[in-house]
A and B are shown apart, each in its own frame.
Chain A
Amino acid sequence: MILVLLLAVPLVTAAVLVRARGRAAAVAHGLGVVFTLGAAAAVAAAVARDDSVTAVDGLLRADALSAWMVALIDLVAALAGAEAPRQAPLGAGGRFYPLLHLFTFTMLLAVTTDDVGLMWVAIEGTTLASVFLVNFERSRAALEASYKYLLICSVGVAIAFVGTVLVYFTDVQRFGHEPHALRWTTLLRLAPELGPRVLELAFVFLLVGYGTKAGLAPMHTWLPDAHSEAPAPVSALMSGVLLGVGLYAVLRFKAVVDLATGQAFGSRLLVGLGLASLAVAAAFLWSPRNYKRMLAYSSVEHLGVACLGIAFGGPWGLGGALLHLANHALAKSVLFLLSGRIRAAYGSADIGAVSGLVAVMPFTGRAFVVAMLALMGLPPFGLFVSEVMVFRAGFEEGWGLAAATGLGLLVVAFAGLLRAAHRMAYGAPAASTAVRREAWQASLPIVAALALLVATGVAWPPGLAAALGHAVAALAP
């Protein structure tokens, strides 16, 4: 029941916002954001109590892993929802707000359905819901970005469909047309007896397909364009959680395929993609010119780290990967939201055009520096902890060389990010930019998110370790 509510809230909000204007729209948007967050908390509580919740004859099902993803999606959706009115006028009508809530709905559906086919539909739906959001500013560059995004992700997800068909094929071959053959719970139960050769083939397609959505190199080419051209709240959602949803699909499928083929097959592929992502990101981050593109490539980097965590496996690797997704979601969405404010103040997304940020925008500038330090993986922030977990798993599970290579690439990216952040934050402000007064209300969500990042880095709030443990355990019951 609570799952139906979780999905109904953004859907109803979207429907209301199609019609609502003026204050009514502002109220609907605000209530939608708050209720979505509340429903996510209720799902988390229910899962903590009962291990898993189901609805609609098992079609919807949330275990600890789903609850983890739901929490991430709704945290970032709340951050983006709070920032959105600064980017797009609320109450003027238009497609932006309905699509924003619809986008949240599709992501939530993807992680709370037990049906592999419906998850596929939902992930395709995330692309469809967000294409117009990317093209919101209707510039030539935004148009190009949304065209690339639609084409590449549609093809990618179509390839994932081949994988889904093959999984269903081996299932049907072995067990006949049993009802609910394409559910995670059924697949996990039957996996040890499914044909390993076909599943290996299927996993390659699934990895390429959902890897495209997750922004893993070399299928990442849509990502920097879409993330840099989209309005800030949309970039935050895409970078913070949409990529994570893609990786969630890979993670679930790997758990199934591992049961049939053993761990080594899937892990080797994932290590390859993870290192490729880190390499591509490090090459770009060495000297970025545009700060939104810099943040986008840093997403490729961090998804690469999470991908390595999944590949290394074990409680440290999987737990590290999930925690890394969460930390990255918080840090990156804060940075994208701030980048929207910076762009509004300086009128450019070029790193060269921004200087003296801390002097011009005291709060935004400082928050930007802090979040950048977190993104580089420095203590006391959560990303440091999750990276340590992932690489510890690498050395423990016998992937020493891959882990060492990954660490080396992280250092390169670190240097590039540090240089760019320094150039933007300090130095003489351009003459044309006046010092801005910033409303304290606008800083609250940002401060809250940064505080959470410190919490995952220094002292885990009660329940976090248990939640992480349950999420990892949900993969292979």
Chain B
Amino acid sequence: MTALANLLAFLGLVVTLLIVWRQSWRGRLRLFALQSLLLAALAAVIGLFTGKAGLLAVAGIVVALKAWLIPRVLSRIAAGTPPRPAIPGRSSGMALLVAGALVVVAYVVMLPVTRAGDLPTEGGIPLAFAIALIGLLVTVTGRDALGHTLGFLMLENGIFGLALLATYGLPGIVEAGVFLDVLAIVLLMEGVVLEIRREHDSIEVDRLRELRG
């Protein structure tokens, strides 16, 4: 289980870095779906090795919700925007560098956790946390609503992975709540974004700058 969990967490981080690197939103969405599939696989692996049938159900929900439904909603949000940013010249090199630094930060921050226990899955914990941090980075630096939403979902995936690796799943009521929240946030985002597009004819939230001070 240790090897498999570590491998999946590592692959998740690689996919996350690829999301930071890619510029086209179609590619980013496909990568996000892949990241969610890896998360589902992680849940299934941990479920199989620890004999928790509930985690298999969680894996199924992750596939249905995050690998299928949410990417569809996101592509609805993105529909009509140019596949690449209209203003070229912003390379993703700097973002990748910061993301790399965040991986180191994640290892340092999670030291108390990895030292505290003797979990077989502890190797993946800093990796999952790194995914969450990079998701936060994408959220903060995102220039349009799609970037913000995608970043938030990556953050969420990272945290969910962290919860799986550190605690082998949270109590059922919390997990159900988390799924509902994610779905509700994405749907609300879609509603707000569609309205932004109607008002401003774009989803670049840079244009939202009326409230100051």
Contacts and interface: CB of A to CB of B under 8 A. Distances in A.
Interface of A: 115, 117-118, 120-121, 124-125, 128, 131-132, 135, 138, 140-141, 143-148, 150-151, 154-155, 158-159, 161-162, 164-166, 168-170, 172-173, 181-182, 195, 197-198, 200-201, 224-225, 228-229, 284, 289-290, 293
Contact of A155 (B155, B200, B208): B155
B41 interface: no
Interface-central residue, B117, B174, B208, by most chain A CB under 10 Å: B174
Contacts of A173: 116-117, 119
B205 A158 contact: no
A165 B116 contact: no
Interface string B58-90: 000000000000000000000000000000000
Interface of B: 109, 112-113, 115-117, 119, 129, 132, 136, 139, 145, 148, 152, 155-156, 159, 162-163, 166-168, 170-171, 173-174, 177-178, 180-181, 184-185, 188-189, 192-193, 195-196, 199-200, 205, 208-211, 213
Contacts of A169: 113, 116-117, 166-167
A249 to B, nearest CB: 15
Contacts of A118: 173-174, 177
B205 A147 contact: yes
Contact of A145 (B145, B193, B209, B211): B211
B152 A155 contact: yes
Given A120-B174, A140-B199, 20 more contacts: A117-B170, A121-B178, A121-B180, A131-B192, A144-B209, A144-B211, A145-B211, A147-B205, A155-B152, A158-B155, A158-B159, A161-B163, A161-B178, A162-B162, A168-B170, A173-B116, A198-B112, A198-B113, A201-B109, A229-B211
A431 B39 CA distance: 65
A145 B209 CA distance: 10
B185 A147 contact: no
B210 A200 contact: no
B174 A154 contact: no
Nearest to A161: B159
A143 B196 CA distance: 7
A147 B211 contact: no
User: Is chain B's binding surface mostly helix, strand, loop or mixed?
Assistant: helix
A293 B213 contact: yes
B132 A162 contact: yes
A121 B174 contact: yes
B171 A121 contact: no
A284 B192 CA distance: 29
Contacts of B139: 151, 155
A128 B181 contact: yes
B156 A158 contact: yes
Contact of A170 (B116, B156, B162): B116
B167 A168 contact: yes
**Ranked 4 nearest A-B pairs via Cβ:** A121-B177, A117-B174, A197-B112, A144-B208
A284 B213 contact: yes
A150 B167 contact: no
Contact of B192 (A140, A143, A182, A229): A143
B213 A289 contact: yes
16 contacts: A117-B171, A131-B188, A135-B192, A143-B208, A144-B210, A144-B211, A146-B192, A147-B192, A147-B193, A147-B205, A150-B185, A155-B152, A158-B156, A162-B132, A162-B162, A168-B170
A181 B116 CA distance: 18
B26 to A, nearest CB: 23
Contacts of B184: 128
Contacts of B136: 155, 159
A143 B193 CA distance: 9
Nearest to B163: A165
A435 to B, nearest CB: 32
Contacts of B112: 195, 197-198, 200-201
A212 to B, nearest CB: 13
Contacts of B159: 158, 161-162, 165
B116 to A, nearest CB: 5
A165 B170 contact: yes
A124 B177 contact: yes
B174 A225 contact: no
Contact of A197 (B116, B188, B192, B213): B116
B188 A150 contact: yes
Nearest to A182: B171
Nearest to B175: A117
A317 B65 CA distance: 46
Contacts of A145: 211
Contacts of A181: 171
A140 B185 CA distance: 20
A98 to B, nearest CB: 15
A284 B213 CA distance: 8
A143 B173 CA distance: 32
A293 B213 CA distance: 9
A151 B148 contact: yes
Contact of B152 (A158, A165, A197, A198): A158
Interface-central residue, A140, A284, A293, by most chain B CB under 10 Å: A140
Contacts of B132: 162
Contacts of B152: 151, 154-155, 158
A224 B152 CA distance: 22
A200 B116 CA distance: 13
A162 B166 CA distance: 11
Interface-central residue, B115, B129, B155, B210, by most chain A CB under 10 Å: B210
Contacts of A115: 171, 173
Interface-central residue, B116, B168, B173, B178, by most chain A CB under 10 Å: B116
